[in-house]
Structure 1
């Protein structure tokens, strides 16, 4: 969008100008300074995509903005390569410059026109035909990139120009996500050879003489480029955190920088020393910026306060996603609205829970906002985001994100903010679950473990034991009882299935099968029932059995409370044992302990006799505790 274009072009202009001034100040020639300044402007898209994908931030706001201005950089790099190719061809003869320029221009337009026609009429048809086989689709994508790369080189351009056009053409198809997913491992494998080539370019005999200059330019790229992006995005109304995280993605030079330098070397514009300088800057910045991106959140926490000068008083670009319509009671704050989080959101909404959703994917936020769910843009690891959350109202804070570092940071920040509710985190394995529980999580979800248990239940279901075909007008239906179904907890006798002509042949629970269950058989959530009857009756039975509760009963919403009830000196309770008082049966509350003077009785014996002045520690429903408090002292 506009922010990607403005940031990309602005960063290119400012970086090249400042880099040129620094190079001139270091006594470089104007031509060498121009090449160095251009090389400093381009950042490595392939490395950034790899890092953001690994951190699962590719769909975040700062991730989308970063990808946008990196594409702008790539387009500028392609234009620079075409220009240098034309310039290189023109130096072959004094009178052939204009002719070479016309020839290169004609070849470039011809290549673009051919790719455009193929994108419109051929590639969609081919990808559609090949989509039945992912292997063929992947091979076609690779072959197409190689073909365009070779054609581009044959026409006098660099291979990278053709490869870029191949990527653009494949991105226009309906199968770009499938192709991208299949090429991920190949991308990571080929990235290894990029670093091998980068290391091979280093001439160690020149490193010593270029060490000082490379240090200056590396600091400029590592610090200056992110600051340029931060200032541009801050001026456009984005928060400093978004600008900082996006800015870190330009803290290294690109493979295009090395290609531009290599072209300049081949046509005699720069020397081996300048080429070595650019290569050394590439090695240093790629190495250090990788760790800056991997540890971007701790780095931001350290620099957050000084970076306030780059944030407008009203960061209006994110104002609409930083706030949400205030609600009354908030049952759950759900962080992470991906596949697992969205499924959890739907189930909680069906149970009439009041939920606030948190995610950094604008697409996910728009989807839930259209459904009327209050949502907020934010990163769960961002402590500043907690200022916008209704933590005092929420009973639960749930993380549906499977990230150990983010979950631990979340629970740390919640404790720091004084949150008194309960916390549920999502773990990928038992080791993470143990760490979360040790950190203070009240509940730990294990999606993969839970899913395997349900899969095992499904495989042991009684439906497998039915005959393959029945010569009779009868049908069968396998049905799983949902945890929020109104039939859960009822007996078969209480269900109106007989009126529909429906019989329950078997029920599966926890891997055990109950054949021909009796009318007193009680149905529980997650039970799998095998129904038999007429197709129309089976459809009605499915509706009845999985009918959702229309509302939450007042009894269900009654909370447990703990209170102290004092025994007066002249109380009828004094001198009597708990067994004699029938305390639980009489008051509907459980005695947890007794505070007697300086002593605490935590193990309750029914024969324990109460004394005047005792403080009874009781737990029960809020209505029961309220009634007991009205009687105090007893």
Structure 2
């Protein structure tokens, strides 16, 4: 049964995908598994509705776009950072799985050649499925997400070499020589490919993108074309299409257009990937399952448990935390679509039996299905297994010692900032201007290097890693700020801090009102709304007096607007107290405040932070006036700020000298540096007592002040 018209065929597939997808969502099942099920249903094992070649092109386009978008997020600096761990982990996992898989197959009585194929097919994980799951969970940009992408690329390279070797082995005769020549050619072509990509990225793409960026539609079209062209070139050179699309994305990752391109391609990617998962399901020939249930169960357990274990061991030895190793390890708890293709090649070459093909098919179904759940519920799975995973974490790693020693002897930390992107970086600069002590946390090596050069203590890490707090001076920190762009990372940080018992305050940056409401509900002490604040300033700018004053006069004078920062020397002063005209030659024409304009303000008009001052003068005078308003009040860090501020209750005994005196008469503020904010008198509670309030025996005074000042009190 099938359709002669390809259009009708695609229509039927889409209808079935929507129907089963809706059922899957209702049952809280991963859509990937639902779409693979659609592929099984419409494939040769069941309804036989589709011919694989009809959807293959759409599937390959979807895969190319997926890897292209992943590449967009990985610039050169990030590749340098994750390169060593990706290479070592990828090679280590491949070696472990292939060697142990081979001996397990032999132990089960499987012939040597079949054992080799089984060992190889168990080695590789599905780059497409893993990347799609991580993208859906918004974890592709996390530390473990980037490491996963790195070692999956390593796996792809090894897969190509193995494919060449097995093909040559099947050719007989000169197979060994052909394999060696093929591998040498792969290495040579790989070097040539990387060199060509670098040259194009450096000298060709910048000028092309600058011209095409004038039209968003043309920019997106070029991006798709570039991804497909690179995929086709790699395929022609004997590499995978996925690798070509990935390199195309990396080549654009350092350009200012990457975010715009990525956001516009996501929907197209998701639609085309539907056909990849359907194609994958249609490859699964259930008639081959046969009597391999027992053996397939053993190999499935090996892949689901053994592969993650070796990744955790390798990453633990390299100094990564158990959480990062565990989450990265889940990515290899499955076999890939390449395994099924390789098994089909083995059958066609006469290397393996159809029973072995059936065994590999079952392992594919089981591991892809179960690992999808493991990745989707990775956080819950980690929280359950965390107590057992400490054995995979090396306790004497030099980098860890450096982390803990880095903050020894540092003063009280005002703010630890998680996320040093645009928002977090700007907050850091303002805090430094105010002489505050800060610490930064991010996993972008470029950002960390920048702040390290500024003398700011920084830490390479992931906000969702519970162990990262052990490497930070949180017991001596007033505020922790989550300035990450996504909601889940901020919520995870809040949860980790609460479980740790953090005693300071927690602030989170919200992108929208829904995020803000969720953060407040979760218990954040302060929710920052950068877009709301920016909108308020934008509204002030649009309604500022500068834009209502004619900017063309017969005199050679110009207008300029200056916004008063909170620490400007001019804040709190009247216009008459500011010698602006005598020092700069510029004049104040108007002041805008809260959407209201004050034209030709009087000398007694007082300036406040946030005011927008409209200046008139010659260009040189305006530059001097702008610098004048930027002068800041010298900030000297008050050592008393280093002390812990506390609120405590002190009981007044009957024989105290305070009894019968008023609060004002005792001069608590001037003599002791504390404030009485309340009095508990038997069942009566006096809030904000006046200076005339008389102290009585047995009163409990609620005192607020620095800890040392409170301790000096003796009633």
Name the TM-score class by shorter chain: 0.7 to 0.9
Of the structure 1 ranges 69-78 and 207-216, higher mean CA displacement relative to structure 2 is found in 207-216
Gaps of 5+ in 1: none
Q: What residue in structure 2 maps to residue 595 of structure 1?
A: 680
How has the CA–CA distance of structure 1 residues 300 and 551 changed in structure 2, closer, same or farther, with 3 Å as cutoff?
Answer: same
Query: Aligned partners of 1:264 and 1:469: how far apart in 2?
Result: 81
How has the CA–CA distance of structure 1 residues 548 and 362 changed in structure 2, closer, same or farther, with 3 Å as cutoff?
Answer: same
Q: What residue in structure 1 maps to residue 120 of structure 2?
A: 38
2:458 is the alignment partner of 1:380: no
TM-score calculated relative to the size of structure 1: 0.84
How has the CA–CA distance of structure 1 residues 197 and 492 changed in structure 2, closer, same or farther, with 3 Å as cutoff?
Answer: same
2:607 is the alignment partner of 1:504: no
Give 3-state SS (helix, strand or coil) of 2:436's partner.
coil
2:204 is the alignment partner of 1:130: no
Contact 1:569 1:611 (8 Å CA) reproduced: no
Contact 2:230 2:247 (8 Å CA) reproduced: no
2:127 is the alignment partner of 1:29: no
What are the Cα deviations for residues 362-420 of structure 1, in whole angstroms up to 9, with x where unaligned? 44333222221112333333333223332332222222234544444444443444433
2:333 is the alignment partner of 1:251: yes
What are the Cα deviations for residues 254-313 of structure 1, in whole angstroms up to 9, with x where unaligned? 232233223223333334444444344334333333343344344333333322323334
Of the structure 1 ranges 257-266 and 182-191, higher mean CA displacement relative to structure 2 is found in 182-191
Q: CA deviation at 1:51?
A: 4.3
Give 3-state SS (helix, strand or coil) of 1:380's partner.
coil
What are the Cα deviations for residues 455-501 of structure 1, in whole angstroms up to 9, with x where unaligned? 22222222222325333111111222222323222222222212122
Q: How does 1:168-567 map to 2 (within 5 A)?
A: 168=247, 171-172=250-251, 178=257, 181=262, 183-207=265-289, 209-321=291-403, 323-326=405-408, 327-499=410-582, 500-552=584-636, 554=638, 557=641, 561-564=646-649
Give 3-state SS (helix, strand or coil) of 2:330's partner.
helix
How has the CA–CA distance of structure 1 residues 249 and 142 changed in structure 2, closer, same or farther, with 3 Å as cutoff?
Answer: same
Q: CA deviation at 1:15?
A: 0.4
Query: Aligned partners of 1:368 and 1:423: how far apart in 2?
Result: 22
Q: CA deviation at 1:564?
A: 4.2
Query: Aligned partners of 1:106 and 1:374: how far apart in 2?
Result: 46
How has the CA–CA distance of structure 1 residues 266 and 447 changed in structure 2, closer, same or farther, with 3 Å as cutoff?
Answer: farther
Which has the bigger relative contact order, CA under 8 A and spacing at least 6? 2
Give 3-state SS (helix, strand or coil) of 2:474's partner.
coil
Number of positions where the alignment pairs a residue of Structure 1 with one of Structure 2: 622
Q: What residue in structure 1 maps to residue 148 of structure 2?
A: 66
Contact 1:502 1:534 (8 Å CA) reproduced: yes
Query: Aligned partners of 2:414 and 2:233: how far apart in 1?
Result: 61
Query: Aligned partners of 1:528 and 1:543: how far apart in 2?
Result: 14
What are the Cα deviations for residues 4-50 of structure 1, in whole angstroms up to 9, with x where unaligned? 32222221111011222233334433333222221111122234344
Give 3-state SS (helix, strand or coil) of 2:389's partner.
helix
Contact 2:652 2:701 (8 Å CA) reproduced: no
Give 3-state SS (helix, strand or coil) of 1:304's partner.
helix
Q: What residue in structure 2 maps to residue 161 of structure 1?
A: 240
TM-score calculated relative to the size of structure 2: 0.75
Q: CA deviation at 1:111?
A: 7.1
Contact 2:161 2:186 (8 Å CA) reproduced: no
Of the structure 1 ranges 111-120 and 124-133, higher mean CA displacement relative to structure 2 is found in 111-120
Q: CA deviation at 1:350?
A: 0.9
Q: CA deviation at 1:538?
A: 1.3
